[in-house]
C-alpha cells in the first residue's frame, strides 16, 4: 500500500514567492490590470480635429395649437423668440387644407378663390418671432385640384378639423408644371412683394414684404403624392425658375425626403445633368424619426431601440454625403426633422414622463454626430404637437404652454455650440461609461465639454482637472419642464443623472 505524500512547506512558500514576484511585475508593467480605475475623460485642447459648421434649430408645423386662438399661442412664440435660432423651418401642411393652401378651388372664367385668412396669421407670428434670424419657408401642400384624381377632393369647412386625405393623385393635370409654378409664384409674391396679380388680371394687395432667405420645395414627396425622382426634379426646376425671378437672393432647398433608403432620389436630383439650364440644387433636406420596434415596447427599451435606429440613419447620412460630394459638392445639407414617433399620428396610452428626456438625448446625440459629419443644419421636430397631432414630437407642454425637456436641450445646445466651434481630441481612459458620449469644444465663449447620457442609470466619471470650478448646465429627469439646472463643479468628478444632456464650461 502506497503512503500518502506529506505536505511540503518549502514547496508552498516557493510557490507563494513566485506568485508575489509575478504580481509585482504585473503591477509595475501593467498597472491597469490589477485594479479597477474610474473612467476618466481626456481632452487634448491643443489638438483641433475639425471646425463645426452645424446649426442646431427646429421646425414649426402649422396646426390649431399654434394659432392665435390657442391657449398656448403666446407662450409658444415667446419660446421660439427666446431661442433665437437660425434656419427655423415653417411648414403649413395638408391635414389642415384651409391653413395650408391659398387657393382651394380652381379659377373660373369670372372668379378666383385666393384666401389667406388662415395662412397669414401664423406666418406673421413666425416672421415676428424669428426677426433677425434666418427662416426656411415651406408651403408644402399643393392644391388638390391641380392633380389628376378620380373625383374632386372634398375638404372640411372647419379649418381646424384634420383631414388626412388631401393628397390623392400622382400626376399633375398640367404636365409641364407651369400651373403649379404660377401658384407658388403668386403665393411667394403675396409674402415678399406686397401682393400679386391673379389668373384674371386682378391685383390682390397683401402689404407683406418679408425677406425669405430659404424656400423649400414641397415636403416628403416620396410620401405625399408618391412623386418619383424624375417628376420631383421637374417640379423643383419650374418652381425655382419662377421664384428666382422674384427673389434672386433666395436659396432653394430640394427633396425633403421622409425615407432615405433609396439612393435614386439623391443620385438623380443632385446630378446637374438632370436639371434645366441655370437651375442648380442649392440645398437638400431629409428626415429621421426613431420609433419603437413594436407597438407595446416598454420605455426601458427605448434607449437601445431609438439609438440603434439613429446609428443606422447616420450610416445612411454618410452614404448620402458621398453622393452629394461626388455630384454637387457646393450643395448644403439640412436634416430638418429629427425626433421620435411612438405611434402615428396619435398616441393611445399616456406618454411616460421620462420619455421626453429619452427623446431629448436622442436629438443631442444626432446633433453631435451630424456635426462630426459636417452637416449644415440639424433641425429638431417640432415646436408643438398634441394628442391626435403627433404629441410625441412636441417641444412644448400642450397643457401648460411651458417648454419641455426637448426644447430645453435644443436651447442648451443652441446657446453653447454652433458653426465655427473647434472640435478637439476627446476620449475616455480606462473604460468608456456605458451609453455616454463626450466631446470637447473650443467656442467663442471658451472651452466646453458636451456630455450625453443615453441610459436610464446614472453615470459617474472623472473630467480633466482643469474643469474643476467650472459651470455645469444640465437637462435630465430632475429638471422636468424647467430650464437647465446650474451648478459649479467641485473637483473633477461629475455625476450625470439618467438621460442627461450636460454642458460643462471651463472657469
Per-residue pLDDT at 348: 73
pLDDT digits (tens, 9 = 90+) for 139-161: 999 999 999 999 999 999 999 99
Dihedral sign for Cα 191, 197, 200, 204, please: positive
Residue 34 pLDDT level (bands cut at 50, 70, 90): very low
Give the confidence band of 197 by pLDDT, cuts at 50, 70, 90: very high
Chain centroid, CA 106 distance in Å: 36
Dihedral-angle region of residue 486 (phi above 0 means left; psi in -120 to 50 means alpha; beta otherwise): beta
Residue with the bigger pLDDT between 116 and 16: it is 116
Could you give phi then psi for residue 272, rounded to 5 degrees?
-55, -25
Together in a domain, 413 and 381: yes
In this prediction, residue 55 carries a pLDDT of 98
Q: Are residue 414 and residue 429 in the same domain, yes or no?
A: no
Mean pLDDT of 230-241: 98
* Residue 267 backbone phi and psi in degrees, to 5: -60, -40
Determine the 3-state secondary structure of 486 from DSSP.
strand
- Name the grid cell of 138: 415651406
Q: What is the CATH number of the domain that holds 478?
A: 2.60.40.1180
Q: What is the pLDDT of residue 296?
A: 84
What average pLDDT does the segment 7-11 reach? 50
Collapsed DSSP state (helix, strand, coil) of residue 21: helix
pLDDT of residue 458: 97
Co-location of 330 and 277 in the same domain: yes
Residue 414's SS3 state is helix
Give the pLDDT score at 4: 42
pLDDT at 11 over 70: no
Residue 306 maps to a domain: yes
Q: Identify the domain boundary among 418, 435, 461.
A: 418
| d(C-alpha 241, C-alpha 221), whole Å | 19
The Cα–Cα gap between 286 and 378 comes to 10
Could you give the C-alpha distances from 25 to 15, 18, 20, 475, 507, in angstroms and in order? Answer: 15, 11, 9, 46, 41
Euclidean distance between CA atoms 209 and 217, whole angstroms: 20
pLDDT of residue 290: 97
Hey, is 386 helix, strand or coil? Answer: strand
Of 234 and 29, which is predicted with more confidence?
234
Q: Which three cell numbers stand for residue 484?
A: 437647465
Q: Do 134 and 283 belong to one domain?
A: yes
In a domain, 159, yes or no: yes
**Quick check: 197 and 139 in contact, CB under 8 A?**
no
User: Would you state the pLDDT for residue 38?
Assistant: 82
Is 50 exceeded by the pLDDT of residue 2? no
Angle in degrees, 0-180, between the axes of helices 117-129 and 73-83, rounded to the nearest 10: 40
Alpha helices by DSSP H, 117-263: 117-129, 178-192, 229-246
pLDDT of residue 346: 84
Q: Are residues 265 and 311 in the same domain?
A: yes
| pLDDT band (50, 70, 90) for residue 27 | low
CA distance 274 to 13: 84
> How far apart are alpha carbons 492 and 507 in whole angstroms?
13
Q: What is the pLDDT of residue 370?
A: 98
For residue 21, is it within any domain?
A: no
- pLDDT for 256 beyond 60: yes
pLDDT of amino acid 474: 98
- Do both 112 and 241 map to the same domain? yes
Q: Which of 369, 393, 418 is the last residue of a domain?
A: 418
The predicted pLDDT at position 33 comes to: 45
**pLDDT of residue 163 exceeding 80:** yes
58 inside domain: yes
Residues 268 and 382 in one domain: yes
Answer whether the bond into residue 345 is a cis peptide, omega within 30°.
Answer: yes
* Mean pLDDT within 11-30: 50
Identify the pLDDT of residue 15.
53
The residue ranking higher by pLDDT, 15 or 129, is 129
Phi first, then psi: what are they for 424, rounded to 5°? Answer: -120, 160
> Would you say residue 112 has pLDDT above 90?
yes
Residue 427's SS3 state is: strand
Cβ neighbors of 483 (< 8 A, separation 6 or more) are 408, 411
User: 332 in a domain, yes or no?
Assistant: yes
Shared domain for 343 and 470, answered yes or no, is no
* CATH number of the domain that residue 174 is part of: 3.20.20.80
Burial code of 310-335, b = ≥16 C-beta within 10 A, e = fewer? beebbeebeebeebbeebbeebbbbb
Do 283 and 361 sit in the same domain of this protein? yes
Structure-block grid coordinates of residue 435: 451609453
How many percent of the chain have pLDDT more than 70? 93
Q: Has residue 414 been placed in a domain?
A: yes
Interval 419-450: pLDDT, tens: 999 999 999 998 999 999 999 999 999 999 99
Same domain, 362 and 284: yes
User: What value does the mean pLDDT take over residues 232-239?
Assistant: 98
> What pLDDT digit, counting tens, does each position of 356-415 carry?
999 999 999 999 999 999 999 999 999 999 998 999 999 999 999 999 999 999 999 999
Contact 51, 421 (CB under 8 A): yes
pTM of the predicted model, to two decimals?
A: 0.91
Last residue of a domain, one of 403, 418, 433: 418
In a domain, 18, yes or no: no
Q: Is residue 393 part of a domain?
A: yes
pLDDT digits (tens, 9 = 90+) for 272-291: 999 999 999 999 999 999 99
Domain count, the chain: 2
375 is in which domain, residue-wise?
54-418
Query: Is residue 57 scored above 80 in pLDDT?
Result: yes
CA dist., res. 393 & res. 379, Å (int): 12
Mean pLDDT of 461-487: 97
298 and 356 fall within a common domain: yes
End-to-end CA distance of the chain: 81
192 and 323 assigned to the same domain? yes
pLDDT value of residue 16: 46
Amino acid at each position: 500500500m502506497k503512503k500518502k505524500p506529506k505536505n511540503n512547506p518549502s514547496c508552498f512558500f516557493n510557490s507563494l514567492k513566485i506568485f508575489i514576484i509575478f504580481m509585482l511585475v504585473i503591477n509595475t508593467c501593467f498597472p491597469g490590470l490589477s485594479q479597477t480605475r474610474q473612467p476618466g475623460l481626456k481632452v487634448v485642447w491643443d489638438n483641433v480635429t475639425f471646425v463645426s459648421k452645424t446649426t442646431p434649430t427646429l421646425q414649426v408645423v402649422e396646426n390649431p395649437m399654434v394659432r392665435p386662438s390657442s391657449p398656448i399661442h403666446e407662450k409658444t412664440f415667446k419660446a421660439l423668440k427666446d431661442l433665437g435660432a437660425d434656419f427655423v423651418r415653417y411648414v403649413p401642411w395638408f391635414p389642415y387644407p384651409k391653413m395650408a393652401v391659398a387657393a382651394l378651388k380652381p379659377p373660373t372664367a369670372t372668379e378666383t378663390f385666393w384666401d389667406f385668412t388662415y395662412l397669414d396669421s401664423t406666418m406673421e407670428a413666425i416672421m415676428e418671432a424669428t426677426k433677425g434670424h434666418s427662416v426656411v419657408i415651406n408651403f408644402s401642400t399643393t392644391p388638390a385640384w391641380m392633380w389628376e384624381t378620380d373625383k374632386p377632393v372634398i375638404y372640411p369647412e372647419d379649418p381646424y378639423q384634420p383631414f388626412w386625405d388631401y393628397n390623392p393623385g400622382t400626376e399633375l393635370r398640367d404636365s409641364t408644371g407651369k400651373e403649379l409654378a404660377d401658384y407658388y409664384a403668386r403665393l411667394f409674391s403675396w409674402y415678399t412683394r406686397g401682393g400679386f396679380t391673379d389668373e384674371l388680371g386682378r391685383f390682390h394687395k397683401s402689404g407683406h414684404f418679408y425677406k425669405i432667405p430659404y424656400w423649400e420645395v414641397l415636403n416628403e414627396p416620396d410620401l405625399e403624392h408618391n412623386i418619383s425622382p424624375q417628376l420631383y426634379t421637374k417640379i423643383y426646376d419650374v418652381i425655382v425658375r419662377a421664384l428666382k425671378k422674384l427673389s434672386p437672393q433666395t436659396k432653394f432647398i430640394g427633396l425633403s425626403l421622409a425615407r432615405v433608403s433609396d439612393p435614386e432620389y439623391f443620385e438623380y436630383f443632385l446630378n446637374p445633368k438632370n436639371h434645366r439650364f441655370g437651375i442648380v440644387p442649392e440645398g437638400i433636406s431629409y428626415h429621421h424619426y426613431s420609433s419603437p420596434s413594436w407597438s407595446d415596447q416598454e420605455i426601458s427599451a427605448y434607449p437601445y431601440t431609438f439609438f440603434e435606429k439613429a446609428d443606422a440613419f447616420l450610416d445612411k447620412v454618410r452614404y448620402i454625403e458621398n453622393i452629394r460630394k461626388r455630384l454637387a459638392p457646393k450643395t448644403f445639407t439640412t436634416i430638418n426633422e429629427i425626433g421620435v414617433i411612438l405611434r402615428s399620428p396619435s398616441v393611445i396610452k399616456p406618454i411616460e414622463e421620462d420619455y421626453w428626456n429619452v427623446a431629448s438625448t436622442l436629438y443631442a446625440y444626432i446633433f453631435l454626430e451630424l456635426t462630426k459629419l459636417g452637416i449644415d443644419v440639424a433641425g429638431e421636430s417640432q415646436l408643438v404637437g398634441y394628442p391626435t397631432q403627433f404629441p410625441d414630437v412636441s417641444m412644448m407642454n400642450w397643457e401648460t404652454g411651458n417648454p419641455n425637456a426637448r426644447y430645453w436641450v435644443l436651447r442648451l445646445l443652441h446657446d453653447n455650440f454652433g458653426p465655427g466651434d473647434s472640435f478637439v481630441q476627446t476620449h475616455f481612459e480606462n473604460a468608456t461609461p456605458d451609453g455616454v458620449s463626450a466631446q470637447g469644444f473650443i467656442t467663442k465663449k471658451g472651452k466646453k465639454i458636451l456630455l450625453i447620457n443615453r441610459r436610464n442609470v446614472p453615470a459617474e466619471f472623472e473630467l480633466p482637472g482643469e474643469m474643476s470650478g467650472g459651470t455645469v448646465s444640465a437637462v435630465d429627469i430632475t429638471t422636468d419642464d424647467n430650464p437647465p439646472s446650474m451648478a459649479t463643479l467641485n473637483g473633477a468628478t461629475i455625476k450625470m443623472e439618467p438621460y442627461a444632456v450636460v454642458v460643462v464650461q471651463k472657469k
